[in-house]
Amino acid sequence: MNSEKRHLIFTRLRDANPAPTTELVYRTPFELLVAVVLSAQATDISVNRATATLFPVANTPATMLALGEEGLKAHIRTIGLFNSKARNLIKTCTILLAEHGGEVPRDRASLEALPGVGRKTANVILNTAFGEPTIAVDTHIFRVANRTGIAPGKTPLAVEQRLLRHVPKAFRQHAHHWLILHGRYICIARKPRCPQCQIADLCEFPDKAPA
Ligand code: SF4
């Protein structure tokens, strides 16, 4: 795909949604970190339902540690993999208090050193909590980037690196959310909604449905 097309695609996505953000409900970097860890293989809706009761009683590392692993599980047991997520979050709280003054660190290495936090989660935190122009490649972005031709790649990391190279600078901050939302609601996995897609004429997917 040429750079002119990419520019047009992001212009349209921006015009339709100038200030996109995550659908996870959070107020602080710590709340976002917890929500993102919980969201692995779970829907944002299910995470929001759990954090609606969790955050009023524990939304800092200290209060979450006080709640304890069993207390935490009681709030998140409707979410997949809740046992390992609870274990990781309690360990994370201990590390945040011991090594980061109870704050969420703003650098990739420290974030990725937290249990249950990989490159994708670190990218979400850096982008959404701290305003860094990172792009976290999840299943939706991976699919949209490959189908459209915006940034094809065989692995999430390859797609991420290509996006960072090719997304025009003006769009890099919000590219992550535009592509996720596009993948979640329009360019869905099984049957993409090409007739309703605002970038259909620019998309290079050979199997797109006719308008
Ligand atoms: S035209 Fe279809 S395949 Fe291309 S981005 Fe839009 S929904 Fe996805």
Q: What is the pLDDT of residue 153?
A: 95
Please check whether residues 141 and 115 belong to one and the same domain: no
Ligand 1: nearest atom to the Cα of 186: 7
Distance 183 CA to ligand 1 centre (A): 9
pTM: predicted TM-score of the whole model, two decimal places: 0.88
Q: For residue 106, is pLDDT > 80?
A: yes
CATH number, domain of 44, equals 1.10.340.30
**Mean pLDDT over the full length of the chain:** 94
Please check whether residues 100 and 190 belong to one and the same domain: no
Distance 123 CA to ligand 1 centre (A): 25
Domain that holds residue 144: 3-20+134-196
| Mean pLDDT (whole number) for 166-185 | 91
| Mean pLDDT (whole number) for 27-53 | 95
**40 lies in some domain:** yes
Q: Which residues are catalytic?
A: 120, 138
Q: For residue 211, is pLDDT > 70?
A: no
Q: What is the pLDDT of residue 102?
A: 96
Q: Looking at 129, 149, 176, which one is the last position of a domain?
A: 129
Please check whether residues 102 and 158 belong to one and the same domain: no
**Measuring from each residue's beta carbon to the nearest atom of ligand 1, which residues come in under 6 Å?**
147-148, 186-187, 192-194, 197, 199-200, 203, 205, 208
Q: What is the pLDDT of residue 210?
A: 74
Domain count for the chain: 2
Please check whether residues 109 and 168 belong to one and the same domain: no
Please check whether residues 35 and 106 belong to one and the same domain: yes
Q: Looking at 129, 149, 174, which one is the last position of a domain?
A: 129
Q: How many residues does the chain have?
A: 211
Q: For residue 87, is pLDDT > 80?
A: yes
